[in-house]
Chain A
Amino acid sequence: MSSRSREESLDLSIADQLDDEIASLRAQVESLKKELKIQTSTLMVSEPTRKLLQDRSKKRAVNSLDSGHVAELLKKSDEQVAHQQQCLYRSCASITSLKIRDPDPNAVDGGNVLGLRFEVMSKARFVRPYYVMLNRPYPNSRNLRVHRHTVPPCVPLAGLAARHLPAPKAKGGEADDDDEPQLEQDLPRFARALRRELVRYQNRIGIIGDLHKAAGLNNSQASERDSDAAIIQHISPADAEAKQISVEWSDGKAGRLIIDDDGRIVKMAVQGENGRDRGAVRELLGGNVRIEELMGQLEGT
């Protein structure tokens, strides 16, 4: 009886082992495939390869099959080069444009859509780009309008669009807006302003994360420090735009730190058990002007 059960468990363990092995092999295959792709892409754009391919295609190989292959390879190589160039532009220029076709059959302007791609860095890597798609819905006018976008609502896209991409006045009616002059649209300024807002937002979010880390809140040993002095227990953004930061201490004090768009400290208030605690504010801010400078302060304590 017992030997049988042992056998079963042995079988089971063998099956488990095999499963593990298969899984690890699969993972290996995946990583090798990935590697292959990267190597191929590097090889395809390298100068000698391209030269070789171009020479071959010029020579018109006798074998028709071979020439077909060469043409195909050359095409792929061209694509790869174009992609490389696009990546270069994207990583350096941070605002790039792209052409999109609106799949809606009733789309305005034949479905032509201009896409703006915003690259933003955060924590030393590119976050997924933000897109703004513009189309031309106004009759007899080449003015643009925001059609779709992937900008989070905490970035004031609508306000920026109203400032830099105002809608053209309808002729005749709409005497609603008094007698303001017809404003010109300025796409470059819109793009610049939007990018600025996006980067600022990302930076504010990033700096709050850094403060969190500097206060030792990411690891669990924080609570083991001597418990006499009140330590910061909680740091988080308190509003959508991440301009207000809520700070909580272990002794029940709660504070609000307000920064401006660019991360300069505007104001801070701390509410203790008996009214406002100005000492805690002084202790935390310590005459610093920028939010980044708090980092050293927090790390020191």
Chain B
Amino acid sequence: MKTSFVQRMDLWARHLMPAATMLLLVLVSAVPLGIPGYAQVSPAFTLMAVFYWAVYRPDLTPPSVVFLTGLAEDLVHGFPLGLTAIIFLAVYGVATTQRQTFLTKPFFIAWGGFVIISFGAFLLDWTLMSVFSLAWIVPDTVLARFGLTVALFPAMAWLFVRVHRYLVR
């Protein structure tokens, strides 16, 4: 069956949505909101997107896209180049191998999975950064950030589900 040019463009645009949400969240997470203390503990929105799409649509988010998202995050936030790319690829790798456990189960199973995997991600992030800067980085803000990220995951997942529904429609 032949599809028209417009249809193909439409499909193409829909398939770009997961990558677009990830890149958009990179920018959004850097915007100064003026909430007291927010900048110190701003949740890792992009990490949530990486996890969600790795579990539900890994076909639309190949590792190269995840890698580029990580690089973008490093550039915008001024982290050492490649650091977040490593973290995102690690989360993506674990999430894609475990996705069968989350797919047909209720949402809180996926949430539990996210808690475990993101804890590993924050731990890796903290270790790499400490080694990179050869200094002991006080882990309290890392923990606060982890807590906030985990707590906000359902809200963001709700948003991703909307995008996801738009994709398959």
State whether these chains interact. no
